[in-house]
Amino acid sequence: MWYSLSQQPINQPTQTPMPDWRLYVITDPRYGHGDALRDRVAAAIRGGATIVQLRDKTATTRALIEQARALLTITRAAGVPLIINDRVDVALAVGADGVHLGVDDMPIADARRLLGPHAIIGGSPETPEDALRMQREGATYLGVGDVFGTPTKPDAGAPIGIAGLQRIIALVDIPVIGIGGITPANAADVIRAGASGIAVVSAVMGAEDPAAAAQTLRHIIDRTRSEVEA
């Protein structure tokens, strides 16, 4: 479709302010599909989730597009960005707010060229060199971990710990989100380390009451930020 230079392509996100990174919730197919997934995401947002990532490495492309479109109706109504894990094509197809890419996925520079200057593009570095490269290529933020051990990625390497997280935070100039094994018991430590927010999977999506779980984490995050900034 043709459009003038003053128009946005239909499937590109419009320019938005920098996201609120505080509570980044990531979906997992173990915790439901279809209506169950939508209900859990809606509950997480009610509880205080500020950004949502659709992550499903087992779904077909068609199913992933359907899931993304369904979640977009919820996230857009709440003013919460929706990020697609790995799949730049799916993000383009549905007009999602951005993508999250690992070191073996599409290079961030290529994703930036395809998605445009206003898309939210996150990266998961495995080394400090990865972090610097991703920043240089145009990443909006980095998801860094695993900070603690996590059952979500049983094949992951040894946790980097708070010290490893702090090394990346000190190295880059873009927001860093701590991820991996974060719970109400250790969330404050991640914020005190200088992270812009925490990313969780099972702590919210796997909770019996996702809204209450998100609310608990938001309370910890907000209280700790207030203490740090005082």
Annotated binding site: 53-57, 85-86, 105, 124, 150-153, 181, 201-202
CA atoms within 13 A on the CB side of 219: 9
Per the CB < 8 A criterion, the answer to whether 128 and 171 are in contact is: yes
The phi-psi region of residue 9 (left if phi > 0; otherwise alpha if psi is between -120 and 50; otherwise beta) is: beta
226 is catalytic: no
Give the span between the Cα atoms of 202 and 110, in whole angstroms.
31
Catalytic residue among 55, 87, 112, 218: 55
**Residue whose C-alpha is closest to residue 197's, from 225, 160, 167, 164:** 225
Catalytic residue among 22, 40, 87, 124: 124
Note the helical H segments in the chain.
34-47, 61-78, 88-94, 108-115, 128-137, 161-171, 187-192, 202-205, 210-229
| Catalytically annotated residue among 38, 153, 167, 225 | 153
Whole-angstrom CA distances from 103 to 117, 129, 144 are: 21, 11, 12
From residue 170, how far is each of 41, 167, 179 by CA, in Å?
32, 5, 17
* Catalytic site includes residue 124: yes
- So which residues are the catalytic ones? 55, 124, 153
